[in-house]
Amino acid sequence: MLAFLQQQYPSADAANLQLAALEIIRQVDVRGDGRLSPDEVAWHLGKLESWVRLRRQFALVDTNKDGLISKEEAHSFLQRQYPNADFELLEQMAKECIRLGDVTGDNRLSRQEVSDLIAESGGPIVAS
């Protein structure tokens, strides 16, 4: 891991790279044996891919870029995705998504609330 980081960041000092390598191993080493197995790396990369996918999708819905999805933004997104669907049905779907995921009670969804909602529905668990 250290050799890889040194190759990627040649101007970084060795002490910082060593700390970074240990932190990466700590986060990815699910079994806690101090080594990274191919399964652990694959699992972590899948989690990272899910996180990147969530951020991209969130950005498509969050049109005003305030970091929160309103019912109107969710409805607008659904209309773009399903242009031939019934307007009122999509409005109800957007309202229900907000209701199900809104933990803070502000009638909007944060990235974490969307991630939690996806995880509760059986989708990938993604940290924001």
Q: Which domains does the chain have, with CATH numbers?
A: 39-120 (1.10.238.10)
14-49: pLDDT as tens digits: 888 788 878 888 888 888 888 888 888 887 777 777
Instruction: Please give the Cα distance from 15 to 74 (Å, whole number).
Output: 46
Please tell me whether residue 13 adopts helix, strand or coil conformation: coil
Instruction: Please give the Cα distance from 62 to 75 (Å, whole number).
Output: 11
Q: Over range 89-112, report the average pLDDT.
A: 94
**Average pLDDT, rounded, for the chain:** 85
Please tell me whether residue 80 adopts helix, strand or coil conformation: helix
Please tell me whether residue 99 adopts helix, strand or coil conformation: helix
Q: Over range 80-93, report the average pLDDT.
A: 93
- pTM, two decimals, is 0.62
pLDDT at residue number 96: 93
